[in-house]
Each structure stands twice: as C-alpha cells, then as structure tokens.
C-alpha cells in the first residue's frame, strides 16, 4: 500500500516552498514521525515527517524545486525497507574505498546536502573522517570547513619538482528562498523607509558587575544563564514606553501605536539571519526573556523555528558584537520602525570626574524610520537605553 506525501500547510500567506534536502532516499526504511525531507520557505525551514512506518518510495520533486501547498512530493510504501540503492560500481582502476566512518557521522553521498557535497569536493576531505554535528549526526558545511582547517599539510615537494598552481574556480549557487526574502526585505527597507542611524556608547561596568555578582544564584534558581541581552531588552522596554513612536509602525496613511512590546531578537541560523519574536517583553522577567532567547537560539540551530515564532514584532535588537563587530548601522525589520544594534565590548580610556580611566565600553546604534520618528525622539530613546544599562537600578524602579 502506498501513502501520498504532500506539502503541508506552511503558515499564513505562505503558499510555496523549496525542497531543501531529501533526508531519506528511495528504498530506505522510515519510522513514523521521522523527517524525510526539509522545506525552505521565505521565513523558516520545515521538516516533513513520515506519517507511519514504511519504506521511502518515489520522490516526485528534486532538491531545489519549488512546490506549492498540498502538492504531491513523495510516497511512503508499506514494508520494512533496506539500504538505499547502491552507487554504481567503481571502475577497476578506481582507488580503494575510504575507511569506515567514525561513529555518529553521516557519510553516504546520498544523504549529504548539495552544499556539503560541494564543500567536500572543494576541500578534498573524505566525509568518512568527519563527525557530523548537524541534526541526527548529519555533516554540515561548517563540519567540512573545520575538518579542512585541521587537515595535515601536504608533504613538501621533493627537490627539483614544481607544484602545479591550483586552478581558479567559480561556483554558482542558487539563493535559498530564505536568503532571497532577506535580500528583498532589506532592500525594500532601504527604498521605502527614510533610514537614519544615531549612535552612543555605553559603559558596561555596572551591568558586568551585576551579572558577575548574581549569575550563579540566577542560574541555580532559574536554570538559565544570565546574559546581557535581557538587560538590553528591559532597557529597550523603558525607552519604547517613554517614546511610543519607536515602538510604532506605518500602515498606509496611518501610524499604528502598540501598548505592548514584542522584541524580535536577531539570531544566526544555518540559512541566514532570522528574527524570532520574544512576546510581551514588558511583562516578562529577566529569566523569562533569557529562557525565550535560549529556546529560540536552540531552535534556530536545529532548523525547527516555526511561523508562529517569527510572527509579529514591534522592535528589533541585533547583536553584532558576538561576531566582533565594533560599530554598524543596522537596517530596520519592516514593518517595524527601529532596530537597536549592539556591538563588542572593549576596554577604552574615558574621562570620569576629570580623570582618564579604563572602562569596558560598547557602541550602540539605533537605526530608525525618519518618516515616523524624529531625531529628538531617536536620540532620547537611545539615551534612555544607555542610562538604564549604566545604572541598572533604573530597570527595577521603571525610571
């Protein structure tokens, strides 16, 4: 008996997706609720699960194909299945097969994604020697790059020999649907909004002292680490409540003001930057915010973010400091009107009470849509955030 596998409902206003990767090949056994392929939409990646135990049947769409909701993409056959169809036998002159893979790695070329296969060929790495860190032990492109960096250097050429210069190569890779959407939205933000950025710097001494003093007690009580993001989220709430325009958005000829604060937190995912939303930050505790951020970070890494996770958002915080960025002009996340950019902390000389002292300083940036937010409002909002971070007591007494 054959069961049809169709593209599931993808979310509000999302009608099509791209086949990102087939996780099971025809003839392989599948278990109920096991992922058989991943779909890439313009917002998130979604796994399609097997409805019951069986054998992977025919695949009616290839990786990279665009498919619509409810389209037939594969079948699941009854039976216990076996290994995927073997690759063609190598020619007599082919080299001996690679040694067996280490435990936990995925080396069959059929289950390597196109990007990973290209990386394996480019770096000349035997996938059997790589331990996968991806979902279900699959090898990722980062695994290949890491293996290439740790690969022993080739023995030096013997005297009199001349090493051949490596050929110059180019590669064309189709943009994922998520990357295409990111590109369109960022370009649209530049074209439609009157973007402007204001900067300030923050002395992180008080927050760092507070965090170091309470981080162990906090982790023991709440089961989560105390990070800097919750401080900035709470400081942003103060600023957005004082300057409502920074938490508003334009809808046609109207300005929509929100009496709640849903903060989009920019998170790095395998396919690009995503911005899941921590809802009701104005009502959440520090622990609630940290737990929500940690959960989204884990889901982003695993590729399990849902449409609901990405929905809404009235303001965005983007932390380029985790990558070492000193200063940037972040782009707003439409239809929002402002985004706060955080950067790396570094010791710098500053003047305090007429004396030059060393303090851990961070540049912060607020990019905003000048059509709705005046310069005075933007500067005031950023100054409120600065003051709350430099004196965290303000976060407790709503000042």
Alpha-carbon 360 to chain mean position: 28
- Strand 267-269 vs strand 338-342: parallel, antiparallel, or unpaired? unpaired
On whether the CB atoms of residues 55 and 79 are closer than 8 A, the answer is yes
CA 370 to the chain's CA centroid = 28
Rounded distance, CA 291 to CA 298, Å? 11
* 97 backbone dihedrals φ, ψ, rounded to 5°: -65, 155
DSSP output for 200-266: EEEE-HHHHHHHHHHHHHHHHHHSS---HHHHHHHHHHHHHHH-GGGG-EEETTEEE--SS--EEE-
Distance CA 53, CA 24 (A): 13
d(CA 142, CA 270): 9
Q: How far apart are CA 353 and CA 330, in angstroms?
A: 33
For residue 293, count other CB atoms closer than 10 A to its CB.
Answer: 21
Q: Is 216 among the residues known to form the active site?
A: no
The reply to whether 370 belongs to the active site is yes
Sign of CA dihedral 9, 26, 142, 64: negative
3-state SS class at 110: helix
H or E element, residue 385: helix 375-390
Closest CA to 247 of 394, 375, 390, 381: 381
CB 237 within 8 Å of CB 395 = no
Set 65, 136, 142, 370: catalytic member: 370
Per annotation, catalytic residue among 70, 142, 374, 398: 374
DSSP state of 327: -
Cα(383)–Cα(315) distance, integer angstroms: 17
Burial class (CB in 10 A: 0-12, 13-18, 19+), 12: exposed
Tally Cβ neighbours within 10 Å of residue 223. 11
Could you give the residue numbers annotated as active site? Answer: 370, 374
């Amino acid at each position: 008996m054959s069961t049809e596998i169709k593209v599931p409902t993808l979310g509000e206003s999302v009608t099509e997706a791209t086949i990102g990767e087939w996780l099971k090949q025809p003839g392989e056994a599948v278990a109920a609720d096991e992922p058989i392929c991943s779909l890439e939409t313009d917002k998130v990646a979604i796994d399609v699960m097997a409805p019951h135990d069986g054998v992977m049947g025919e695949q009616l769409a290839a990786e990279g194909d665009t498919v619509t909701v409810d389209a037939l993409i594969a079948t699941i056959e009854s039976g216990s299945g076996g290994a995927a169809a073997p690759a063609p036998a190598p020619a007599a002159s082919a080299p001996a097969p690679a040694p067996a893979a280490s435990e936990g790695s995925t080396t069959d070329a059929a289950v390597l994604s196109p990007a990973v296969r290209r990386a394996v060929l480019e770096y000349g790495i035997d996938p059997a020697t790589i331990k996968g860190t991806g979902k279900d032990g699959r090898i990722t492109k980062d695994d290949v790059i890491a293996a290439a960096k740790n690969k022993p250097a080739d023995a030096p050429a013997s005297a009199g020999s001349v090493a051949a210069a490596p050929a110059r190569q180019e590669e064309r890779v189709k943009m994922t649907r998520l990357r295409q959407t990111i590109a369109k939205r960022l370009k649209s933000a530049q074209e439609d909004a009157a973007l402007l950025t204001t900067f300030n710097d923050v002395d992180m001494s008080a927050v760092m002292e507070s965090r170091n003093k309470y981080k162990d007690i906090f982790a023991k009580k709440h089961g989560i680490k105390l990070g800097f993001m919750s401080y900035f989220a709470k400081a942003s709430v103060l600023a957005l409540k004082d300057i409502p325009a920074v938490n508003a958005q334009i809808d046609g000829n109207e300005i929509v003001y929100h009496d709640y604060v849903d903060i989009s937190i920019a998170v790095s995912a395998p396919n690009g930057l995503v911005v899941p939303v921590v809802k009701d930050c104005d009502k959440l505790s520090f622990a609630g915010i940290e737990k929500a951020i940690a959960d989204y970070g884990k889901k982003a890494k695993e590729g399990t973010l849902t449409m609901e996770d990405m929905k809404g958002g009235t303001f965005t915080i983007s932390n380029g400091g985790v990558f070492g960025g000193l200063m940037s002009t972040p782009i707003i996340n439409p239809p929002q009107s402002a985004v706060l950019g955080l950067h790396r902390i570094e010791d710098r000389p500053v003047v305090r009470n007429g004396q030059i002292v060393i303090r851990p300083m961070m540049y912060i940036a607020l990019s905003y849509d000048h059509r709705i937010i005046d310069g005075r409002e933007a500067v005031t909002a950023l100054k409120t955030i600065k003051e709350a971070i430099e004196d965290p007591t303000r976060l407790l007494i709503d000042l």
